[in-house]
A and B are shown apart, each in its own frame.
Chain A
Amino acid sequence: MAATVEIDEANSAGETLTHNISDTDMGSADSATVDPVASPITPGNNTYEKWQKIHVTAMGGSSKIDNLQVWRTGALGGAATHKTNARTTSYAGAASFTTPTASASTFTQTMPTSDPAAANLGIGGSLTGSLTATGSSDYLVHQIQTNAADTAGSTSTMNYQYDETA
């Protein structure tokens, strides 16, 4: 068969892990199921950081999962920016979980808006790392930082890609 892979999100100081999230909801609350209507972002403010990871729950007979690539497709609207720790070079190693914040994230790379064509999220702290058994990637941390002149109503697509070797 094939490996089973899901996207997990960690929230709150207790690092509560919601497994197999269906989407990335970014707003003014630290939750895996943020309601954008109930928790909108005031223009000029940031969303809460998202701390997510790619989790292999079973190898399904495959030998390796690697080459993790993450990017966003679709415009944010206005002058909003999307910051992350994901990067294809000079990767800073695995990010250690801290309580998600709506203050400006310490991670300042710009989320790619097309396939980066190379790993930009590490495993075991390295972009050349791999999973040969069940386990998770490094944390992907990202945040949208809005501008005071931005208006509401933006939907885009997060892409999470991996290679699987039989």
Chain B
Amino acid sequence: MATNICGVCKNSYTTEEQYVSHVCGVTGRTPAEAAHFGTNFLRQSKEALRRSGSLSEEKEAAIDAEIEAAQADDVDDKLMRAHLEE
């Protein structure tokens, strides 16, 4: 069975489901949580929604709140440090 590795914390999982539900030791979030991917990803999410005409004020506000939460938690810095160790 294929191995699934978290590219951030480097832990391995037997199944993809196990990977998606794990709490990353670097970000403190699961890969199903947008803030796990940092503020750049969250900003890109807005553009992905904008391209389909789906970026409502409500959606944008929700994403902006996630950006603030990620910033407060220094997620970008944690991700940068984890990748520097590769």
Contact = CB atoms under 8 A, between A and B. Distances in A.
**Binding between chains A and B:** yes
Interface of A: 1-6, 10, 14-23, 32-33, 57-58, 60, 62, 64-65, 67, 134, 161-166
Given A16-B2, A19-B19, 4 more contacts: A4-B37, A5-B48, A164-B51, A164-B52
Given A2-B63, A4-B31, A60-B34, A20 B45 contact: no
Interface of B: 2-8, 16, 19-20, 31-34, 36-37, 41-42, 45-46, 48-49, 51-52, 54-56, 59, 62-63, 66, 79, 83, 86
Contacts of B42: 2
B4 A33 contact: no
Contacts of A161: 48
A30 to B, nearest CB: 14
A33 B86 CA distance: 7
Nearest to B16: A17
B31 A164 contact: no
